[in-house]
Amino acid sequence: MNLSLVIPIYNEEESLPLLFDAIHNALDSLSRTWEVILVDDGSRDKSLDVLRDLAKKDPKHIRVVAFRRNFGQTAAIAAGIDHAKGEIIVLLDADLQNDPADIPMMLDKLDEGYDVVSGWRINRQDTYITRTLPSNLANGLISRVTGVELHDYGCTLKAYRREVLTGFRLYGEMHRFIPVFAHAVGAKIVEVPVHHHARQFGEAKYGLERTFKVLLDLFTVKFLLSYSSKPIYLFGGTGIGIIALSAALLIFLAIRRLFYGISVFSSPLFPISAMFFIMGFQSILMGLIAELQVRTYHESQHKPTYTLRETINIE
Ligand code: UDP
Ligand code: MG
């Protein structure tokens, strides 16, 4: 199998037949073997019935994975990837906002040697204030924090070489960070403009609150990327910083006592300094506990702390 499309679906009954036609139009002329993994994320409308019909109509290409309840877009994408057989995996939304006609162009980019081709909705057709603007701000922030510069993390339409999708699991709303995880295992990433259409059927499943979830996820991602194999550097570093602050306060109090005779213990700065000392000490202890967890994490799952490109003369 050469190509797997993975599509998360939650209440998209009207869009699905049109999506099916659009996919055939885009892929039939390619000389690749392909499949579509449609993941029904516990839809409450007739989406699953429509999927059953489509699967009957085209058993060669259509595969369906159905959740028992709504687990969210990220879980749906993860399940789709788990069931995909292709060497190339393309993710896209079911609501026809992404255009399957862009896929052949993205595959050409992969053939040029890239591992990730990231869609960028240059003419995004969503409400500006609640969707596009927060998303633009988030993209800038994510690019800065992770060092992976992309204009459109939120665009689901992206193509991946399978190898760069192994070695990490997706939690929360983290599907948008897949390029960051891929970059961490050494993937070459390129960005391409893709079409974007206004939603024709059904309704958008998210509102402004998603921005906050994305921000919180960004903390986790940054931590995992930078410190997951050496948490003591973060916790211990913070701890040492806070203890230094505590020491600076004490020195200040001592100097004041020596030269001006002002009592150390009567100053509110004294208990503050003591508090800083305890906080710093605890932060270092937390770092040690995290170090234990890192060892459990890597060693219980036989997860190496590195990724290989290739080996030569090694059995
Ligand atoms: N989706 C899903 N589970 C959910 C919410 C959404 O599988 O809990 C799917 C939805 O059917 C669509 C895609 O994820 O195919 C993106 O959802 P939506 O269009 O609402 O989001 P946006 O276009 O604003 O990113
Ligand atoms: Mg959409």
**Residue 131 Cα, ligand 1 centroid: separation in angstroms?**
13
Torsion-angle region of 184 (φ positive above 0: left; ψ -120 to 50: alpha; else: beta) = alpha
| pLDDT at position 309 | 73
Q: How far is CA 145 from the centre of its chain?
A: 13
Residue 204 alpha carbon, nearest atom of ligand 1: 20
Relative to the alpha carbon of 156, which ligand is closest?
A: 1
User: Percentage of the chain with pLDDT > 90?
Assistant: 84
Residue 315 class from Cβ within 10 Å (0-12 exposed, 13-18 middle, 19+ buried)? Answer: exposed
| pLDDT at position 301 | 83
- Is the pLDDT at 308 greater than 80? The verdict is no
- Is the pLDDT at 302 greater than 90? The verdict is no
Residue 39 alpha carbon, nearest atom of ligand 1: 7
Rounded to whole angstroms, the Cα distance separating 157 from 119 reads 5
Q: For residues 208 and 138, which has the higher predicted lDDT (pLDDT)?
A: 138
| pLDDT at position 179 | 97
- 165: phi then psi, degrees, rounded to nearest 5: -100, 0
Residue 95 alpha carbon, nearest atom of ligand 1: 15
Mean pLDDT of the chain: 94
Tokens 């050496």 belong to: 230
Decide whether any atom of ligand 1 lies within 6 Å of the 211 Cβ: no
* Strands 88-91 and 158-161, sheet pairing: antiparallel
pLDDT tens per residue across span 191-221 = 999 999 999 999 888 888 888 899 999 999 9
| pLDDT at position 50 | 97
Residue 9 alpha carbon, nearest atom of ligand 1: 11
**Residue 292 Cα, ligand 2 centroid: separation in angstroms?**
42
Decide whether any atom of ligand 1 lies within 6 Å of the 95 Cβ: yes
Question: Which stretch of DSSP H or E encloses residue 19?
Answer: helix 15-27
User: Which residues, in sequence order, are CB contacts of 56 under 8 Å at separation 6+?
Assistant: none
| pLDDT at position 303 | 81
> Confidence class of residue 307 from pLDDT cuts 50, 70 and 90?
confident
- Is the pLDDT at 280 greater than 90? The verdict is yes
Task: Report yes or no: 117 and 190 within 8 Å, Cβ to Cβ.
Answer: yes
**Residue 240 Cα, ligand 2 centroid: separation in angstroms?**
46
- Is the pLDDT at 24 greater than 90? The verdict is yes
Decide whether any atom of ligand 1 lies within 6 Å of the 73 Cβ: yes
| pLDDT at position 88 | 98
The SS3 call for residue 289 is helix
Nearest CA to ligand 1 atom 8: 72
Tokens 């000490």 belong to: 281
- Is the pLDDT at 225 greater than 80? The verdict is yes
User: Percentage of the chain with pLDDT > 70?
Assistant: 100
Rounded to whole angstroms, the Cα distance separating 34 from 252 reads 71
**Residue 17 Cα, ligand 1 centroid: separation in angstroms?**
17
**Residue 95 Cα, ligand 2 centroid: separation in angstroms?**
6
Decide whether any atom of ligand 1 lies within 6 Å of the 239 Cβ: no
Q: For residues 156 and 301, which has the higher predicted lDDT (pLDDT)?
A: 156
The SS3 call for residue 149 is coil
**Residue 165 Cα, ligand 2 centroid: separation in angstroms?**
23
**Residue 307 Cα, ligand 1 centroid: separation in angstroms?**
32
Rounded to whole angstroms, the Cα distance separating 221 from 215 reads 10
Residue 8 alpha carbon, nearest atom of ligand 1: 7
pLDDT tens per residue across span 148-200 = 999 999 999 999 999 999 878 888 889 999 999 999 989 999 999 999 999 99
- Is the pLDDT at 231 greater than 80? The verdict is yes
Decide whether any atom of ligand 1 lies within 6 Å of the 290 Cβ: no
Decide whether any atom of ligand 1 lies within 6 Å of the 93 Cβ: yes
Rounded to whole angstroms, the Cα distance separating 313 from 179 reads 31
pLDDT tens per residue across span 60-111 = 999 999 999 999 999 999 999 999 999 999 999 999 999 999 999 999 999 9
- Is the pLDDT at 30 greater than 90? The verdict is yes
Task: Report yes or no: 86 and 3 within 8 Å, Cβ to Cβ.
Answer: yes
